[in-house]
């Protein structure tokens, strides 16, 4: 794979925000900043970053605006899967795109930044697994009572179509 870097001398630095909420009911405004272009996906943190619709638009934006700094409120907004999180960081680093994560206040293109992202990514992944484990008994009870049906077996609707 070849990465072509063209960086004109007069790059005007721009800031954008990337965010993610799991459901449409969640508030997005905590991740927004007035006057800043924002890309906020509504999807599970377990969906790969590069497969999210607004993450794809962000990548296209970064390709055409090389001086852009992307800010994310929290590492968990990028994802809750350590491997995908590291792949996302690698994508940014290989393309020389700046990614700032406000909580815990790091830039990902440093060795210490990568270490912190790796550790926190593992914690968020464990947290997601714990949430699934804790909610499973409640879902089973709801299924038995006919309150929770979930998706029909054999459904092949893609995430984009479902949302």
- Active-site residue flag, 22: yes
- Angstrom CA distances, 161 to 58, 111, 147, 158, stand at 20, 39, 24, 5
Residue owning tokens 């993450």: 55
Check: CB of residue 81 under 8 Å from CB of residue 125: yes
Q: β-strand 98-103 against 106-107: which pairing, if any?
A: antiparallel
**Catalytic pick from 22, 64, 76, 159?**
22
Residue 89's Cβ-count burial label (10 Å; 0-12, 13-18, 19+) is buried
Which are the catalytic amino acids? 22
């Amino acid at each position: 794979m070849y990465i072509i870097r063209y960086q004109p001398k007069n790059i005007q630095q721009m800031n954008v925000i990337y965010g993610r909420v799991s459901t449409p009911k969640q508030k997005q405004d905590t991740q927004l900043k007035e006057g800043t272009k924002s890309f906020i996906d509504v999807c599970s943190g377990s969906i790969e970053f590069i497969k999210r619709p607004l993450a794809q638009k962000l990548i296209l934006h970064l390709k055409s605006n090389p001086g852009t700094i992307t800010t994310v409120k929290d590492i968990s907004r990028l994802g809750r899967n350590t491997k995908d999180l590291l792949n996302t960081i690698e994508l940014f680093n290989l393309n020389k795109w700046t990614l700032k994560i406000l909580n815990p206040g790091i830039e990902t293109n440093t060795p210490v930044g990568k270490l912190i992202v790796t550790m926190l990514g593992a914690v968020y992944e464990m947290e997601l697994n714990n949430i699934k484990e804790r909610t499973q008994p409640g879902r089973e009870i709801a299924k038995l009572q006919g309150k929770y049906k979930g998706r029909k077996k054999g459904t092949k609707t893609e995430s984009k179509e479902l949302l």
